[in-house]
Structure 1
Amino acid sequence: MSRQLLAMALAPLLGLFILGIGNGFLATLITLRLDAAGESPVVIGWVSSAYFIGLALGAMFNDRLLLRIGHIRAYGTFASLVAVTVLLQGLWLDPISWFGLRLIGGWATVGVYLVIESWLLTSGDQKVRGRLLALYMISLYAAGVLGQLLLGVTDAMGVTAPFMVIGMLASLSVLPMAMIPRVSPLIEHAEPLSPIRLITLTPTGVMGSFGSGLAVAAVYSLLPLYLQRIGLTVNQIGQMMAVVILGAMLLQYPIGRWSDRHDRQMVLILIGTFCTLISAGMLLLPPNIWVMAGLLFLLGGGVFALYPVAVGHAADRAPAGALVRMSQGLLLINAIGSTVSPPLISPVMAAVGDAGLFWAFGAMSIGMVAFFAWRRSVRPAPLPVAPFTPTTPMSSAGAELAVTEELMQGATEHEHVEDLSDAVPDVETVEPLVGPPPPDEAHIAYYEDEEPRHAEAPDHEQLVDETTSSSRD
């Protein structure tokens, strides 16, 4: 990667890192504060779901604002809204008000991700986009780990101090974007594929994306509630959440590379089985902080790897021209799963106790395993056609970052083989091109980039002349 390209990508990555530190522990902080105020898990679940509703709405509509006002001003707008909503939450604690503020905060946060992802997308060509995406994910996960570790430090400063720190970090993240002397690029608006079309095209990809949204939202929103209610301090909760994100960061790529060498449907089945076993371990093993840290590390690796493997499987099925729109549609499915997760799981925790979180995790994992196994029996997955790309579900522009040149080529080859393998005869059995054809058979001439066409049988000299002329053209 050239020094000039790195300099162009430094500003958005630095802005993401600064904002991500505060945003990394905001969901944990809100859950803990609502629980300390005596709110029920159902109320906490609904307030948490407001953020994901905002994410879904922003992923669908924020690109229009970006096209209208440009990257730098859009980033300033979104980051300022994040800061305002967080500071207002620090002024008073009211679940109804926090629901509205979290909704606006989710809408603004996905706008920030959209600006950064589209900036990286247009900064370099296809040869370096994979490395830019890797830097993007490293910045995002590193900020999340650091933010969780800061949770206990800021909480010890006072009731409002954590909200003030997050608001200041969101405001400071504007500086790198505003100070760079460069005209920002623009992106084009593209509508994602409808959920019905996606279900028809790739049921396994849809279920994997939806299940990933359910699980990841539960990790961010309800796992801190579970940890607090079993007696961990705020500082210990931050450390456990950091362990989860660290597991996601370190295990996602090995699991993805493994999926490149095996049937991705089988990998999804094994990930679901793995998450089921981890959930059972959290329910059955004695409460020990080191055992819990190890299990949560593995849980983060499995849960966060589910989405990119599902997207990879869907890309193996998709025609080349629909890759970006398909990825955007899967992001929407993922956001829907994240939205409904807290309201669905929190009543389980209220009914059966705090351990209901892992009962719900186990039930979701078993359901996904059963679905993936059924789909594999109905329609075995094709061999992977492109290398795994680690993916973070954030916004529709991030889908374009994952659509690499290798993926486009692989999807094209896969589609070509699917369409023509039964129509084109084996090379060893092809009749010689010269000589008169059988009188009772139609003749079809196949060209590399053309539809098959029917032709009258020419004589030998005319066929040679036409073949030479077409090769010159």
Structure 2
Amino acid sequence: MSRQLLAMALAPLLGLFILGIGNGFLATLITLRLDAAGESAVVIGWVSSAYFIGLALGAMLNDRLLLRIGHIRAYGCFASLVAVTVLLQGLWLNPWSWFVLRLIGGWATVGVYLVIESWLLTSSETKVRGRLLALYMISLYAAGVVGQLLLGVTDAAGETVPFMVVGLLASLSVLPMAMIPRVSPLIEHAEPLPPLRLITMTPTGVMGCFGSGLAVAAIYSLLPLYLQRTGLSVTSVGQMMAMVVLGGMLLQYPIGRWSDKHDRQWVLIMIGTFIAGLSLALLFLPAQPGMLAVVLFFLGGGVFAIYPVAVSHAADRAPAGALVRMSQGLLLINAIGSTVSPPLITPVMTAVGDNGLFWSLGALGLFLVAFFFWRRSVRPAPIPVAPFTPRTPLSSAGAELCVTEELVQGAIEHEHAEDLSNVVPDVEVAEPLVGPPREEDTHIEYYDDADTQIGESRGEEFQTDRS
């Protein structure tokens, strides 16, 4: 990686890290504040889901603003809007006002991610995009860990101080982007596939991304609520959440490399079993912080690994021309899963107690295992056509730009092999032969499944016309 490229990538990554520190503990902070105010788990779930609704809306709409005003100005708009929504939340505590502010905040946050992802991936050559994406992930997860550890320090300073800190960090993150040379790459807009077409193309990929959205949103939104109600302090809650994010950061790459060498459907089955087992173990785990931290570390690793493995499996299935739209469609499916997760799980927690969170995660894991087993029996996974790339759920532009040349070439070869398997030769002999046949006496015609002639050969000469 050249010094020039590293210098161009440094500013967006630094801006992401600064803003990510505040966002790293904001979801946890909101959950804890609403619980301390006496709000029910259902209300907390709806406020949490507003953020993911904003993410889904932003994934579909924010690229238009980016194309209109450019990367640097778009980043300034989105980061400033994040700061405003957070500071307004610190002014008064009202769950329905917070619902609206969280929705706007989610829309603005995914806009920030869109700018950074597209900036990194369009300013680099294909051969270094994987490394830039790895740096992107490291910055995002490292900021999340630091943010969770910072939660206890800021909360002890006063009720409004944490919101002020998040707002200050969001505003401060504009400086690295504003100080770099004004050279903005351009991206192209691509519409996602219709949901029914996407489900038909890759049921396993769709269900994996949807299940990932359900699980990740539950971890971020409802796990802090469970931890606080078990008697942990705000500082301890932040530390436990940091262990979850750390597990997601450290275990995602080994699991992804494992999926490169084995059937990805089988890997998804093992991940689902792993999540179900850990969730059930948490129901009967002794109240020991050390043991709880270890289990949460591995639970985060399993939950965060579902999405990239499912996307890699879907890419193995997709034809070359549908890779970009498939990636954006799966991103939207993941956002929908994140949106409906808190409203679905909080009634379970209300009915059976706080342990309903882990009953729900365990049931989700078992459901995914059963679904992936069924899909594997119907249609086994093909040989992977492109290596696994570790990543978090991306924005629409980021998903578009993460489709590498290796992935496209592999899908083209895979589709070409399927086309050739449908070719049926029809051999005609012009007249009875006496003696050895001549090359010009053998006429072979090739047809596809629709009985349309696609080629013919005479002797060693073979010509095709697929137009």
- 5 Å matches for 1:372-387? 372-387=372-387
Percent identical across equivalent pairs?
A: 79
- 2:439 aligned to which of 435, 439, 450: 435
SS of residue paired to 2:440: coil
Aligned to 1:470: none
CA distance in 2, matches of 1:198, 1:454: 32
Alpha-carbon distance, 1:418 to partner: 1.6
Aligned to 2:54: 54
Structure 1 counterpart of 2:36, which letter?
Answer: A
CA distance in 2, matches of 1:401, 1:245: 25
- 5 Å matches for 1:32-181? 32-181=32-181
CA distance in 1, matches of 2:412, 2:23: 39
Aligned to 1:277: 277
Does structure 1 conserve the Cα–Cα contact (< 8 Å) formed by 2:24 and 2:148? yes
> Closer, same or farther in 2 for the Cα pair 1:42/1:404, shift >3 Å?
same
Aligned to 2:249: 249
Aligned to 1:19: 19
Does structure 2 conserve the Cα–Cα contact (< 8 Å) formed by 1:391 and 1:402? no
Unmatched tracts of structure 1, length 5 or more: 426-431, 468-473
Does structure 1 conserve the Cα–Cα contact (< 8 Å) formed by 2:148 and 2:238? yes
Aligned to 2:400: 400
SS of residue paired to 1:61: helix
Are 1:341 and 2:333 counterparts? no
CA distance in 2, matches of 1:108, 1:292: 34
Are 1:315 and 2:315 counterparts? yes
CA distance in 1, matches of 2:252, 2:455: 51
Aligned to 1:186: 186
Moved more, 210-219 or 382-391: 382-391
Q: Root-mean-square deviation (CA), in Å? A: 2.1
Structure 1 counterpart of 2:384, which letter?
Answer: P
Does structure 1 conserve the Cα–Cα contact (< 8 Å) formed by 2:216 and 2:303? yes
Are 1:388 and 2:392 counterparts? no
Aligned to 1:324: 324
CA distance in 1, matches of 2:212, 2:441: 57
Aligned to 2:232: 232
Q: Deviations over 1:34-84 (max 9, x none)?
A: 000000000000000000000000000000011111111100000000000
Structure 1 counterpart of 2:336, which letter?
Answer: I
Does structure 2 conserve the Cα–Cα contact (< 8 Å) formed by 1:260 and 1:387? yes
Aligned to 2:287: 287
Aligned to 2:209: 209
Does structure 2 conserve the Cα–Cα contact (< 8 Å) formed by 1:240 and 1:296? yes
CA distance in 1, matches of 2:392, 2:401: 10
Alpha-carbon distance, 1:175 to partner: 0.4
CA distance in 2, matches of 1:145, 1:111: 22
CA distance in 1, matches of 2:226, 2:360: 13
Unmatched tracts of structure 2, length 5 or more: 426-435
User: How many corresponding residue pairs?
Assistant: 452
Does structure 2 conserve the Cα–Cα contact (< 8 Å) formed by 1:443 and 1:457? no
Q: Deviations over 1:150-202 (max 9, x none)?
A: 00010111000000000000000000111112221121111011111110000
Structure 2 counterpart of 1:443, which letter?
Answer: E
Structure 2 counterpart of 1:176, which letter?
Answer: P
> Closer, same or farther in 2 for the Cα pair 1:71/1:350, shift >3 Å?
same
Q: Deviations over 1:93-120 (max 9, x none)?
A: 0000000000000000000000000101
CA distance in 1, matches of 2:456, 2:176: 64
Structure 2 counterpart of 1:298, which letter?
Answer: F
Alpha-carbon distance, 1:413 to partner: 1.3
Aligned to 1:2: 2
CA distance in 2, matches of 1:434, 1:25: 79
Alpha-carbon distance, 1:401 to partner: 4.0
Aligned to 2:263: 263
Alpha-carbon distance, 1:423 to partner: 2.6
Does structure 1 conserve the Cα–Cα contact (< 8 Å) formed by 2:276 and 2:362? yes
Q: Deviations over 1:190-218 (max 9, x none)?
A: 10111111100000000000000000000
Structure 1 counterpart of 2:4, which letter?
Answer: Q
Does structure 1 conserve the Cα–Cα contact (< 8 Å) formed by 2:121 and 2:402? no
Moved more, 320-329 or 204-213: 320-329
CA distance in 2, matches of 1:433, 1:40: 86
Aligned to 2:355: 355
Q: Structure 1-normalised TM-score?
A: 0.92
Are 1:369 and 2:373 counterparts? no
Does structure 2 conserve the Cα–Cα contact (< 8 Å) formed by 1:72 and 1:178? yes
Q: Deviations over 1:383-416 (max 9, x none)?
A: 1111101121131122134312221121111111
SS of residue paired to 2:297: helix
SS of residue paired to 1:222: helix
Does structure 2 conserve the Cα–Cα contact (< 8 Å) formed by 1:129 and 1:401? no
Alpha-carbon distance, 1:419 to partner: 1.6
> Closer, same or farther in 2 for the Cα pair 1:179/1:292, shift >3 Å?
same
> Closer, same or farther in 2 for the Cα pair 1:443/1:325, shift >3 Å?
same
Q: Deviations over 1:256-296 (max 9, x none)?
A: 00000100001000100000000011001212111110110
Does structure 2 conserve the Cα–Cα contact (< 8 Å) formed by 1:222 and 1:357? yes
